[in-house]
Amino acid sequence: MRQVRSDSGKNSGCFLERIIEMRKINVTFDNVDMVEEFVHVVQDYQTDVDLKSGHCMVDAKSIVGVISMGLQKKMDLIIHTETCEELVERLGFCRVS
């Protein structure tokens, strides 16, 4: 997935286009122990990681934010980089097909 963001300088009249690569996978958590393990795993990576359900989005590195999203429901994990195969593999315990 690609997201294109245009940034403009205040006085320059120039536009810079940044292409932000991201990957989305579906996850779910059966219990708080799974949430703790999930947050521990994503905190090992420097990339931004968000968790989205409906109109709500939280920082996936925040245990309070992730718990506030609820348990036992399908959510979108948005990883803000394309090079995340190791992270995706480590999250196999909470992935949903």
Residues 3-20 pLDDT 10s: 545 555 555 556 556 667
pLDDT of residue 18: 63
CA–CA separation, 19 and 40 (whole Å): 28
pLDDT, tens digit (0-9, with 9 covering 90-100), for 33-79: 999 999 999 999 999 999 999 999 999 999 999 999 999 999 999 99
CB proximity list for 46: less than 8 A, separation 6 or greater: none
Give, in order, the Cα–Cα distances in Å from 85 to each of 4, 23, 59: 22, 10, 20
Q: Please state which architecture CATH assigns to domain 22-94.
A: 2-Layer Sandwich (3.30)
Residue 27, pLDDT > 90, answer yes
Rounded Cα–Cα distance for residues 33 and 2 (Å): 33
The pTM for the full model equals 0.79
Domain positions in the chain:
22-94
Closest CA to 80 of 8, 12, 20, 19: 20
